Amino acid sequence: MIKSKTSFKPKLKKGILAAVLVAGIFSFAFVDDLFQVSKNLDIFASVYRELNINYVGEVNPSKMIKTGIDAMLDQLDPYTEYIQESDIEDYRLKYVSTQYGGVGATVSTRNGKVIISEPYKGFPAQKADLRSGDEIIEISGVPLKGKTNDQVSQMLKGPKSTLVKLLINRPGISKLIEKSLVREEIKQKNVPYYAMLPNNVGYIKLDKFLENSGQEVKDALLELRKNNLNGLILDLRFNGGGILQEAVKIVNLFVDKDVNVVIQKGRNREKTITYKTYNASVEPNLSLVILVNNRSASASEIVAGSLQDLDRAIIVGQRSFGKGLVQQTFNLPYNSLVKVTIAKYYTPSGRCIQALDYTHRDAEGSVYKVADSLITEYKTQDGRSVYDGSGIYPDVFVKPVKYNQITQTLGSKYFFFDYATQYRNENPSIADAKSFMLTDSDYDKFVNYLSAKDYNYNTKTEKLLSDLKDEAEKENKLAEIKPEYEALKAKVSYSKKNDLVQFKEEIKKVLENEIASRYYFERGRLEQGFKYDNEMTEALKLIANKPVLASILKGVGTYKSIGKPGEDFSANADK
């Protein structure tokens, strides 16, 4: 995404809207048929004029035009969008800048209540001892009943050094708590965490590619390099991307000057640009592993795909999202913007990893993945095979963790979250995040906590039994199979009651992570999860075995993923 400045002008008056829409055709510089453009804009303006004059109800001009623009853009792709003046600040936080004035906490609404989801360490909310799970009753004397999540967020934000007062209901505390906070400039880091792992392996977690992300990765790398680095793990999991140029800067840390990183190609020739590295690299030879998953997208895929194509890094994890499109923002009148997909990007081997084909919809407007028959093979710098049209496929695939339905249900009904809140309020401290584990006694307390909760759910087996009953009733055969049906139903019900025992280890793992975050915030969530992290285990074992690492980059030998932490891997490398 390429940033552009926004202009500020007076608002349109409703009476001149039609004239402005028609006059707008003369500003188009890239159209094939000005008559068709003029004709259809004239029709659009005329429809709006007649509605505005004659419709039986009140017409909201801004809402109607916004709906029309959104419907028009929906025919293109989900990344081309109109941003009205009231949404500009949220847009900047999402796509451009990480800075805003506020208290440093995320909030969510649940059952009409405003709950603090997570305070950020080092900012006003955390320094005032606001905690995850606290309910905000009032903000500066204004009750929050009926307020939306966006409205609450706006109330918490404000100029730096201004005062905001909160009235808090903390679970387990009978009396309401008053807190006075002074807003600060909140700057969320692109790199929220970096550390040294065993055997002098560095680790950098990159959350997003917004302003200054390239410099943040460089600073973390230089700090880690003081420890005689043996290798580096760059974690791009759940990173949805951001600014393309920041991705180029990060690739440049590991690749020498004047190397092609990515090419963007658009219908407009002015949008066809080749991005090359322009500085000397910081670590051209350091063993490098990049972690990706199905939520790694856009700029994340540029970094992973380029370093894979250049045979500079090994990619570990699951197939990435597959977003090979580039967006740019353009100023519109009266402090609004339009973000437009202007090009596709191509990694050094020449592949575009875009997975969904938005240019060829079917008659119903549905979008499909690029057909297998159209996927093309490309070659990396040293001759390894890579493919387009389906995201970045890892060099070492690690089977993703899939939680059982009992675990998913406990999470979706907030029982992990709420119990962690209770645990934090009852326990002033815990062991450090890396070593924190729940005992069997602790787990029994959680099971006891659930005994008074409704966490009912239907298993796949129960659904199949229900379908069987429906079909038997339709065929008048239920009476014949009823004894067997009832016996199966009873067995399934008994098995389901044992789910808290059968899936104890995975439930404990999720609960431990939630509790650790209550004391050590995002850093604690990451560190506590390391010991269960399959991709991390794979990466550490690869860096420890230099011959295997080299053989994968050369495209020779084989590597068998372990799939579970703590197990050995087997590799046959041609030497």
The span from the CA of 401 to the CA of 491, in Å, is 27
Residue 309 annotated to the active site: yes
Q: What is the SS3 assignment for 425?
A: helix
The span from the CA of 520 to the CA of 369, in Å, is 41
Say which of 296, 298, 300, 306 is annotated catalytic.
298
CB 419 within 8 A of CB 446: yes
Could you identify the residue written with the tokens 């009873």? 490
Could you give the CA distance from residue 427 to residue 416 in angstroms, rounded to a whole number? 16
**How many Å apart are CA 15 and CA 9, to the nearest integer?**
17
Active-site annotation holds for 298? yes
Please give the Cα distance from 210 to 220 (Å, whole number): 16
Residue 121: partners with Cβ closer than 8 Å, 6 or more residues away: 521, 522, 523
Exactly one of 323, 339, 496, 509 is catalytic; name it.
323
CB of 492 closer than 8 Å to CB of 459: yes
Report the run of H or E that residue 412 belongs to, with start and end.
Answer: helix 405-412
The answer to whether 11 touches 338, Cβ cutoff 8 Å, is no
Catalytic residue (one of 134, 309, 395, 499): 309
H/E element holding 156?
helix 149-156
Give the pair of three-digit tokens for residue 412.
């979706």
- Interatomic CA distance for residues 118 and 108, integer angstroms: 9
Please report the beta strands in 193-318, taking only residues with DSSP state E, as ranges in sequence order: 193-197, 201-205, 231-235, 260-265, 273-276, 288-292, 314-317
| Catalytic-residue membership of 541 | no
Neighbours of 35 (CB within 10 A): 9
Helix (H, G, I), strand (E, B) or coil at 267: coil
CB-based burial label for 264 (10 Å; 0-12, 13-18, 19+): buried
The C-alpha atoms of residue 388 and residue 346 are separated, in whole angstroms, by 9
Q: Which of 197, 164, 296 is nearest to 242 (CA)?
A: 296
Spatial distance between the Cα atoms of 484 and 2, rounded to a whole number of angstroms: 64
Residue 13, classed as helix, strand or coil, is coil
Report how far residue 247's alpha carbon sits from residue 210's, in angstroms, rounded to the nearest whole number: 10
Geometric angle at alpha carbon 569, from 568 and 573, rounded to 5°: 140
Alpha-carbon distances of 114 from 134, 186, 427, rounded to whole Å? 8, 21, 24
Q: Are 163 and 178 contacting, i.e. CB atoms less than 8 angstroms apart? A: no
Nearest to 515, CA basis, from 427, 404, 405, 449 = 427
Please identify every residue annotated as catalytic: 298, 309, 323
